[in-house]
Amino acid sequence: MAALLPGAATLGVLGGGQLGRMFVHAAQALGYRCIVLDPDAISPAGAVAEVHIKTDYLDSFGLAQLARDCDAITTEFENVPALALQTLAGMRVVAPAAAAVAVCQDRAVEKAHFEAAGVPCAPHAVITNDIELAAVDPALLPGILKTSRMGYDGKGQVRVSTPAELAAAWADLKRVPCVLEQLLPLQRELSVLVARGADGQIVHWPVQQNLHRGGILAVTEVPAPDVPAEVDELAVNAARQVAAALDYVGVLCVEFFWLTDGRLVVNEMAPRPHNSGHWTMDGCEHSQFELQVRALAGLPLPEPRQHSAAVMLNLLGDLWFTEQGGPTPPAWDRVLGLPGTHLHLYGKTEARHGRKMGHLNVTAATPEAAHAVALRAAALLGLPTDF
């Protein structure tokens, strides 16, 4: 397609969450108008877009309006119905494509894609019925049983150690299709962001080192402080292979496990910008959201250059609650008094435990300096300092 030039086009987003909000901000900075479709009347992205279509994702009238008024359309989360993307693709440019998003929506299909792309993933078994349950190789235990669909941030996941525990866990998960993954000894969790255009051009950001707590990303550090050059290269090449094999258009995040024996295995992927890439907003010449806009609009994709070492702290709603009660905003004035701190709140009107409310980026000239300030910020916020 011909490029959609800034100032002369309207971009659409399915989904009104914080990722959509940051996409809209990036698009508007380049001069695009934005329309968000989301059923929530007070969604973060809907609050900043020029137009907010308040309908369900499969509402025919809402989709028709989005297609009529937009020149190209993307999604801000992977669980948007693939049918909505297919419907829109019959009328407008849609990126990423419904087929690519559908792969990311099903863990079993996703793992088959990794294997077909020549990228190793954890040993696993697909469980959809009693016969497959009984046939599970005991060598996969202990493992993690994950629902094939709709699992994120640690939801829909159960650790199991014995065949009896596996059977009980599958029953607790309502016997929905699941994937059992062998529990592997981790050295670090890593991720790689790539951006790919419709013309096949592909660029990537530096490897990101991640720390999760309770299944939710808590801290990202870039450059990845503990990762040798050969592992870095393996991760980047694998992420590029995964994106190319999908014929992907847009920003894609591929998450990896770096094992204690030195092996690198892919964990999962997200067909959108990712929490672990939020540091790019302040530590890089081009953020993940700007390149999401560029890929959708058919603009050139510059190779992202990191200009500052960065640490990202995820900010959950728990920070608004203290022993004295809540919700009360944290002491942002003290945190923002630290050098190189950049606060991004998502415009959510209600703080809740476990809810993603924002993130704090810390940038500095060296990784050591960024790490030191991030530790001070975490201490001020009452966050763990185990990174």
**pLDDT in the model for residue 154:** 60
**pLDDT in the model for residue 327:** 83
Instruction: Identify which of 247, 293, 270, 254 has the alpha carbon closest to the alpha carbon of residue 97.
Output: 247
Whether residue 359 is annotated as binding a ligand: the answer is no
Task: Give the pLDDT confidence of 88-113 residue by residue, as tens digits.
Answer: 999 999 999 999 999 999 999 999 99
What structural domains and CATH numbers belong to the chain?
10-94 (3.40.50.20), 123-182 (3.30.1490.20), 186-381 (3.30.470.20)
349 versus 43: the higher-pLDDT residue is 43
Q: Is the peptide bond before 223 cis (omega within 30 degrees of 0)?
A: yes
Whether residue 189 is annotated as binding a ligand: the answer is yes
Whether residue 107 is annotated as binding a ligand: the answer is yes
Q: For the chain, how long is the longest CA-to-CA vector?
A: 60
Whether residue 146 is annotated as binding a ligand: the answer is yes
**Quick check: 75 pLDDT over 90?**
yes
DSSP string, 64-118: HHHHHH-SEEEESSTTS-HHHHHHHHTTSEESS-HHHHHHHT-HHHHHHHHHHTT
**Quick check: 151 pLDDT over 70?**
no
Whether residue 382 is annotated as binding a ligand: the answer is no
Percent of the chain residues past pLDDT 70, beyond the cut: 99
Q: Is 364 helix (H, G, I), strand (E, B) or coil?
A: strand
**Quick check: 323 pLDDT over 80?**
no
**pLDDT in the model for residue 152:** 63
Whether residue 54 is annotated as binding a ligand: the answer is no
Whether residue 355 is annotated as binding a ligand: the answer is no
Percent of the chain residues past pLDDT 90, beyond the cut: 92
What pLDDT band is residue 302 in, cutting at 50, 70 and 90? very high
Task: Give the pLDDT confidence of 164-220 residue by residue, as tens digits.
Answer: 999 999 999 999 999 999 999 999 999 999 999 999 999 999 999 999 998 899 999
Average the pLDDT over 144-168 and give the result.
Answer: 86
Whether residue 221 is annotated as binding a ligand: the answer is no
